Amino acid sequence: MTGVILAHIRAIRSGHSARARIEAVDAQGLEYKFEANADEVRGSVGDILVLSWAIHSNPVLVTTPTATPPPTVASTPASSPMDAATVDEQFDVLMRGAAARPAQNPEQQLAALLRGAGTKPG
């Protein structure tokens, strides 16, 4: 990538150091500010600054790309009703803080509900 910039010099600032700061603005309003040796700056405000630039890749940092295999996605087994029941059981244990009870089949669950209802007085 290369380019040439033409900009009007707006200020040349020099002070107690051996450097001078050159400030310029191009036709699009972009500002350019850089430092140079004060002894080498021979322009004045209103002159045209011509900057010629190029960007090159750094040979130290350039590496040849290697083909990396795409990441493999581990397949997860389909969840079964038993897995869901186990998860529900663990959730109940955590919420109640009680010890885990063994999973019950539907008949055992119905019997437990009927025992809990008990007999009505009367």
Per-residue pLDDT 10s for the chain (122 aa) are 888 999 999 999 988 889 999 999 999 999 999 999 988 888 888 899 898 989 988 888 776 666 666 666 665 555 555 677 777 777 777 777 655 456 677 777 777 777 766 555 55
Q: Is residue 17 part of a domain?
A: yes
Strands 19-26 and 31-37: antiparallel
Q: Is residue 62 part of a domain?
A: no
Q: Is residue 96 part of a domain?
A: yes
pTM score, whole prediction: 0.46
Longest CA–CA span in the chain (Å) reads 115
Reference 39, options 4, 5, 12; nearest CA is 12
Domain count of the fold of the chain: 2
Q: Is residue 49 part of a domain?
A: yes
- 32, 26 Cβ separation under 8 angstroms: yes
Q: Is residue 60 part of a domain?
A: no
For residues 67 and 74, what is the distance between their CA atoms, to the nearest angstrom?
Answer: 21
Q: Is residue 59 part of a domain?
A: no
Per the structure, the complete domain to which residue 36 belongs is given by 2-54
Q: Is residue 73 part of a domain?
A: no
